[in-house]
């Protein structure tokens, strides 16, 4: 029987060039001795060399060059050179590297899958997400054609608690509460953007993008008003425990609310009861930082009735220790499985999501969905701000006439990332992203392999 969830989901992508070009990584030079043989147009798979309208070879497109030097080698005239651009080496940081920023720019501009996307060509060793790669070696029947749609692969995920079984009392009355489930077509939500003072266009763009993508954007309670209210069904208001009373109107209108506990413990049962009194059908998410105790806190909150646990780590901390987020996520998922409550709660993981492959890698480690934060703000021109609120030399400025442009850049980025997710699911022979969750047997971990190969040696 076909279920409603198998309806087609489509992200409309459209060219959205950046407002500021980022420095190219390479400069490709063509010298005067070029005799227009055009061998380079065949040699370059990245499209650096194209023929102009006049039938002559055009100026090289530096932005597309990946520095493979094939054009230099193939040119019969020896008329090409490729040089590294020193300026571009200073872009980004150790985690949001120049290459990652360039890839995000390409994806946000075109909505397409980059030629060397999906993380296949990344370092074959590394920490955190870079120490995990997909195991496509045991495929019996790969569902290869996910993107082009001949074989349908679902990227939908469910938010909320599903009852593990129905429980009846002695008189046959159903005791277990009704499942409250919200299905979203992609395992990605948008984190609240760093704010630009009182400038709300960036928030509006995030919220409109969430609405277009049929997912959610997180917005602080104090900003859930004005221009944003028409999009309330795609907003997750973020509320602090002391704000429940003033949040009542917003809670009443919302499908999901998030209570940010930070690293403190509050009387969460009371918070849940108060929210439920205002809106019995709203999903309640608790957000807390990834740390040594997050697995136990997540379990306790699940037992109290949380529908969603949203774990987060700042990008700055992920950069400092890339293993911290991957191990905490894996530990939290495993602990909930061990305690037999994993199906009762949705896990959302935020932090360190810097490329498309980080979405399926988070899911393999046990998340149901991820929060995109800095990545979509980089797509709009942010220079990797961390907590600096796009001040200083950050060029991210969204004026009212830029909102639609920003929405399209975010939609393109998410569209490209979804296509790359489909490629990976196809490669793993999975027809649903739901089945990828916690499938650690389908991935290889650098730490494990290192132990196997170098085991016993100090």
Local structure of residue 453 (DSSP, 8 states): H
Q: Tokens 């949040």 — which residue?
A: 247
Q: Measured from the CB atom, is 341 or 394 closer to Zn ion? A: 394
Q: Which stretch binds Zn ion (CB under 5 A): 40-48, 102-110, 268-276, 392-400?
A: 392-400
What the block records as the tokens of 386 is 């961390």
Q: Is 91 in the site for Zn ion (CB under 5 A)?
A: no
Site string for Zn ion, 291-320 (x = CB under 5 A): ------------------------------
- By CB under 5 A, residue 161 contacts Zn ion: no
Going by their DSSP bridges, the two strands 283-289 and 132-134 should be labelled as unpaired
Coil, strand or helix: which one is 351? coil
- Whichever of 226 and 392 has its CB closer to Zn ion, that residue is 392
Q: Where are the alpha helices (DSSP H) in 77-139?
A: 98-110
Q: Binding residue for Zn ion (CB under 5 A) from 385, 414, 422, 430?
A: 385
Please, what is the Cα angle at 416 between 415 and 418, to 5 degrees?
65
The helix/strand/coil state of 415 is helix
Does the protein bind Zn ion through residue 430 (CB under 5 A)? no
Among 272, 396, 430, 433, binds Zn ion (CB under 5 A): 396
Contacts of 265 (CB under 8 A, 6+ apart): 297
Nearer to Zn ion, 13 or 384 (CB): 384
Mention every residue, 6+ apart, whose C-beta is less than 8 A from residue 349.
290, 311, 312, 325, 329, 362, 365, 367, 369, 370, 371
The 345-384 site mask, x for binding Zn ion (CB under 5 A), equals -------------------------------------x--
Residue 375 CB, nearest distance to Zn ion (Å)?
A: 12
Q: Residue 390 interacts with Zn ion (CB under 5 A)?
A: yes
CB 320 to Zn ion: min, Å: 19
22 binds Zn ion (CB under 5 A): no
The nearest distance, CB 202 to Zn ion, in angstroms, is 10
Q: What Cα–Cα distance (Å) separates residue 310 from each residue in 257, 261, 278? A: 11, 10, 22
Question: To the nearest whole angstrom, how small is the minimum distance from the Cβ of residue 396 to Zn ion?
Answer: 5
Mark 168-207 with x for binding to Zn ion (rule: CB under 5 A) and - for no binding: ----------------------------------------
Cβ at position 388, least distance to Zn ion in Å: 7
Q: Least Å distance between CB 413 and Zn ion?
A: 16
Q: Look at residues 339, 365, 340, 404 and name the one whose alpha carbon lies nearest to residue 128.
A: 365
Greatest alpha-carbon pair distance for the chain in Å reads 92
The count of residues interacting with Zn ion (CB under 5 A) is: 5
User: How many C-beta atoms lie closer than 10 Å to residue 3's C-beta?
Assistant: 7
What's phi and psi for 384, nearest 5 deg?
Answer: 65, 75
**85's tokens:** 């651009």
Task: Kindly state the smallest distance separating residue 356's Cβ from Zn ion, in Å.
Answer: 21
Phi, psi of 260 (to 5 degrees): -90, 110
Q: Which residues bind Zn ion (CB under 5 A)?
A: 382, 385, 390, 394, 396
């Amino acid at each position: 029987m076909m279920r409603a969830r198998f309806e087609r989901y489509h992200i409309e992508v459209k060219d959205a060039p950046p407002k500021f070009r980022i420095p190219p990584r390479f400069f490709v030079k063509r010298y005067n001795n070029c005799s227009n043989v055009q061998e380079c147009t065949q040699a370059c798979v990245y499209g650096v060399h194209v023929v102009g309208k006049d039938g002559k070879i055009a100026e090289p497109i530096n932005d597309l060059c990946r520095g493979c030097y094939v054009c230099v080698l193939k040119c019969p005239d020896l008329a090409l050179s490729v040089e590294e651009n020193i300026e571009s080496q200073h872009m980004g940081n150790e985690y949001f590297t120049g290459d990652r920023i360039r890839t995000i720019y390409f994806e946000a501009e075109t909505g397409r899958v980059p030629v060397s996307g999906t993380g296949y060509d990344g370092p074959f060793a590394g920490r955190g997400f870079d120490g995990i790669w997909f195991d496509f070696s045991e495929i019996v029947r790969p569902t290869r054609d996910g993107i082009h749609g001949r074989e349908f692969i679902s990227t939908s995920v469910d938010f909320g608690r599903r009852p593990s079984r129905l429980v009846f009392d002695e008189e046959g009355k159903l005791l277990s509460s009704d499942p409250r489930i919200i299905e979203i077509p992609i395992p990605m939500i948008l984190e609240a953007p760093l704010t630009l003072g009182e400038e709300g266009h960036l928030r509006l763009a995030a919220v409109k993008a969430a609405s277009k993508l049929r997912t959610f954007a997180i917005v602080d309670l104090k900003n859930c008003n004005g221009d944003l209210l028409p999009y309330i069904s795609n907003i997750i208001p973020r509320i602090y425990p002391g704000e429940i009373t003033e949040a009542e109107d917003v809670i009443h209108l919302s499908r999901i609310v998030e209570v940010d506990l930070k690293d403190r413990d509050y009387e969460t049962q009371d918070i849940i009861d108060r929210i439920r009194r205002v809106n019995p059908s709203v999903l309640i998410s608790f957000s807390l930082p990834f740390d040594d105790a997050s697995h136990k806190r997540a379990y306790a909150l699940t037992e109290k009735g949380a529908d969603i646990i949203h774990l987060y780590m700042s990008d700055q901390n992920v950069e400092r220790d890339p293993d911290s987020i991957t191990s905490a996520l894996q530990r939290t998922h495993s602990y909930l499985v061990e305690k037999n409550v994993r199906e009762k709660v949705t896990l959302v993981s935020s932090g360190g999501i810097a490329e498309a492959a980080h979405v399926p890698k988070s899911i393999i480690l046990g998340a149901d969905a991820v929060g995109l934060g800095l990545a979509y703000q980089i797509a709009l021109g942010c220079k990797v701000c961390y907590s600096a609120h796009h001040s200083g030399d950050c060029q991210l400025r969204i004026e009212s006439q830029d909102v639609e442009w920003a929405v399209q850049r975010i939609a393109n980025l998410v569209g490209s990332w979804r296509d790359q997710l489909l490629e990976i699911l196809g490669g793993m022979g999975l027809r649903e992203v739901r089945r990828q969750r916690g499938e650690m047997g389908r991935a290889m971990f650098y730490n494990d392999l290192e132990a196997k190969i170098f085991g016993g040696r100090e």
